[in-house]
Amino acid sequence: MAERPTKKSWAEPFKIKVVEPIKMTTRDYRLKCIEEAGYNTFLLKSEDVYIDLLTDSGTSAMSDHQWAGMMLGDEAYAGSRNFYHLEDVIRKYYGYKWIVPTHQGRAAEHIISQILIKDGDYIPGNMYFTTTRLHQELAGGNFVDVIIDEAHDPTNEHPFKADIDLQKLEDLIKKVGAEKVPYISMATAVNMAGGQPISLGNLKEVREMSHKYGIPIIHDATRVAENAYLIKEREPGYQDKTIAEIIREICDLTDGCTMSAKKDCLVNIGGFLAVNDEELYKKAQNMVVVYEGLHTYGGMAGRDMEAVARGLEESVEYEHIKARIGQVQYLGEKVLGWDIPIIVPIGTHGVFLDARRFLPHIDQDEFPAQTLAAQIFVESGVRSMERGNVSAGRDPRTGKNRRPALELVRLTVPRRVYTQAHMDVTAEAILEVFDNRDKVKGLKFTYEPEYLRFFQARFEPIT
Ligand code: F0G
């Protein structure tokens, strides 16, 4: 007889109404595909992928309520009713006063960076994100990582690895002077650290410092609901609060946010910038017409804004977020059970394989994570993404690869898209690659683009 369960299972709070077929291919076919794609999973064709864990960005399944909202798109050039609905929802759940819609997150990052950063400024943040740092640098700023040291150690089980090291933050402010620090760049559920949360206790202390030196906090709210769930699970005093209450408490400790709605908000495209300062808002509102579109649509159609508004409301529901993170944890626990090296604690939006320990024989300048992502695709048809030396890029001062402490392959789980059976197949595929890891060889560049090289770079195996 099978063992009786020791804990209660959870299940997704939805049933499936529409399905999209996916196809399994042969190993030979996939080898040809990855060669043609220059060993970069971003350059594969989606139809050649079996289970697509490249990203959780824009890959969510929308609800019937969101799809119904798409039919209510008000496509007026100016003053679309969907914009006002979106504005109401953002004000209600995040509490920021002024909203500038954009087509996705990086457009909001571009606008805020151009407005706030002056040449030679320093922007402290809890670990870099690729597009965020690039926009800060393009505006003349220097990003400085002030996340706690634990975040750079994949084996450290700290429950809030996205916390900011207050000493590092204050040291920087004292060294360069507060006038050279335009804002603190604080992300919830830090992507590059493995989807690790910040604690409210830490954020309150950061807020005190921000007040002490008169430096605002700009929040990357891309995965704020996921962070809120882990606060409810892990931080004393928050067990009885709702996800919505925790989100609001986070946002209230900050001065504005950039948002890629393609993640938490359960849509395929969309984003916004939201701020409390009216002067800042006016500047952003003026800039958005240059780069995105009128300030009542940014880069979005009316129907897109409606889908974001409805998705944002769904994102704060406890049953949704519990199942979402539950699925990621399910995959993580499965591979961890076979002693496959991943980042612990398991994060919010994906399972991050530690490529340093997975492929210890490959030097970081031969791109172990890039190599591993390619190998996983060849063996199984599962698509993942490199988050290591290729993503980190070159240091603009030295021109050398940055060789970040974390050399990761991200198995990112789209929201409401795959079943537990897909997670089982994925875990078994990783195990197979792990068993044959000694034979895998590293990669070298054949083409290296100037900006965000990981998206379009091409490689070949080192022989
Ligand atoms: N901030 C974070 C934390 C992100 O994860 C992303 C995108 C952005 C900003 C930029 O938003 O793509 O809408 O312009 N992350 C995607 C990913 C690309 O796969 O993690 P965007």
Widest Cα–Cα separation across the chain:
69
Pocket perturbation via mutation, ligand 1, pick of 263, 273, 456 by most ligand atoms within 8 A of CB: 263
**What's the rounded Cα separation, in Å, for the pair 372 and 356?**
10
Do 282 and 330 lie in one domain? The reply is no
Tell me, yes or no, whether 54 lies in a domain: no
DSSP H helical ranges for 147-275: 166-176, 200-213, 224-234, 243-252
Identify the active-site residue in 106, 334, 387, 453.
387
- Residue 87, Cβ neighbours under 10 Å: how many? 20
Residue 154 phi, psi dihedral angles, 5° rounding: -65, -20
pLDDT at 276: 98
Q: How far is the CA of 261 from the centre of ligand 1 (A)?
A: 9
Identify the active-site residue in 96, 129, 183, 434.
129
Q: How far is the CA of 260 from the centre of ligand 1 (A)?
A: 6
What residues have CB less than 8 Å from 371, skipping those under 6 apart? 39, 355, 359, 362, 440, 441, 442, 443
Residue 385 CA: nearest ligand 1 atom is: 19
Pocket perturbation via mutation, ligand 1, pick of 190, 196, 260 by most ligand atoms within 8 A of CB: 260
Do 190 and 106 lie in one domain? The reply is yes
Task: Specify the residue with its C-alpha closest to ligand 1, atom 8.
Answer: 105
Is 310 an active-site residue? no
pLDDT at 10: 86
CA dihedral 95, 96, 100, 105 (to 10 degrees): -80
pLDDT at 9: 85
**What's the rounded Cα separation, in Å, for the pair 193 and 154?**
8
DSSP H helical ranges for 189-277: 200-213, 224-234, 243-252
Report the chain's terminal Cα–Cα distance, integer Å: 52
Do 83 and 174 lie in one domain? The reply is yes
Is 454 an active-site residue? yes
Do 133 and 268 lie in one domain? The reply is yes
Do 306 and 322 lie in one domain? The reply is no
Tell me, yes or no, whether 15 lies in a domain: no
Tell me, yes or no, whether 311 lies in a domain: yes
Do 404 and 269 lie in one domain? The reply is no
User: Considering 315, 345, 366, which residue would you say is the last residue of a domain?
Assistant: 315
Do 331 and 199 lie in one domain? The reply is no
Do 336 and 426 lie in one domain? The reply is yes
Identify the active-site residue in 29, 64, 77, 175.
77
Task: Specify the residue with its C-alpha closest to ligand 1, atom 15.
Answer: 57
- According to DSSP, residue 199 is labeled P
Tell me, yes or no, whether 156 lies in a domain: yes
What residues have CB less than 8 Å from 442, skipping those under 6 apart? 359, 362, 363, 366, 367, 368, 371, 461, 462
Identify the active-site residue in 41, 55, 59, 130.
130
User: Rounded to whole angstroms, what are the CA distances from 444 to 30, 130, 153?
Assistant: 20, 21, 26
Residue 187 CA: nearest ligand 1 atom is: 3
Q: Which of 344, 270, 350, 337 is nearest to 302 (CA)?
A: 270
pLDDT at 61: 98
Q: Is 154 exposed, middle or buried (0-12, 13-18, 19+ CB in 10 A)?
A: buried
Q: How far is the CA of 8 from the centre of ligand 1 (A)?
A: 34
User: Rounded to whole angstroms, what are the CA distances from 203 to 184, 191, 197, 231?
Assistant: 11, 17, 11, 12
Identify the active-site residue in 145, 163, 220, 304.
220
Q: What residues flank ligand 1, with Cβ below 6 Å? A: 55, 57, 104-106, 129, 131-132, 187, 191, 220, 222, 260, 262, 271
CA angle, 224 as apex, 223 and 230 as ends, to 5°?
100
Task: Specify the residue with its C-alpha closest to ligand 1, atom 12.
Answer: 105
pLDDT at 337: 97
Handedness of CA 139, 142, 148, 152 (dihedral sign): positive
Q: How far is the CA of 463 from the centre of ligand 1 (A)?
A: 34
Q: With beta carbons less than 8 A apart as the criterion, state whether 229 and 325 touch.
A: yes
Tell me, yes or no, whether 21 lies in a domain: no
Q: How far is the CA of 155 from the centre of ligand 1 (A)?
A: 25
pLDDT at 396: 86
CATH number of the domain to which 288 belongs: 3.40.640.10
Identify the active-site residue in 262, 263, 383, 415.
263
Task: Specify the residue with its C-alpha closest to ligand 1, atom 9.
Answer: 105
Helix (H, G, I), strand (E, B) or coil at 443: strand
Q: Please state the domain count of the chain.
A: 2
pLDDT at 239: 98
Q: How far is the CA of 389 from the centre of ligand 1 (A)?
A: 18
Is 220 an active-site residue? yes
Q: Give the residue ranges of the chain where pLDDT is below 50.
A: none
User: Considering 284, 299, 315, which residue would you say is the last residue of a domain?
Assistant: 315
CATH number of the domain to which 456 belongs: 3.90.1150.10
Tell me, yes or no, whether 293 lies in a domain: yes
Q: Which of 291, 259, 256 is nearest to 116 (CA)?
A: 256
Do 260 and 385 lie in one domain? The reply is no
Is 130 an active-site residue? yes
Identify the active-site residue in 83, 96, 377, 454.
454
**What's the rounded Cα separation, in Å, for the pair 212 and 197?**
24
Q: Is 181 exposed, middle or buried (0-12, 13-18, 19+ CB in 10 A)?
A: buried
Q: How far is the CA of 361 from the centre of ligand 1 (A)?
A: 31
Q: How far is the CA of 105 from the centre of ligand 1 (A)?
A: 6
Do 405 and 268 lie in one domain? The reply is no
Tell me, yes or no, whether 256 lies in a domain: yes
Q: How far is the CA of 221 from the centre of ligand 1 (A)?
A: 10
Do 81 and 197 lie in one domain? The reply is yes
Helix (H, G, I), strand (E, B) or coil at 298: coil
Residue 55 CA: nearest ligand 1 atom is: 19
Is 387 an active-site residue? yes
Tell me, yes or no, whether 445 lies in a domain: yes
Do 165 and 191 lie in one domain? The reply is yes
Q: Write out the residue range of the structural domain in which residue 351 sits.
A: 27-49+318-461
User: Considering 296, 315, 334, which residue would you say is the last residue of a domain?
Assistant: 315
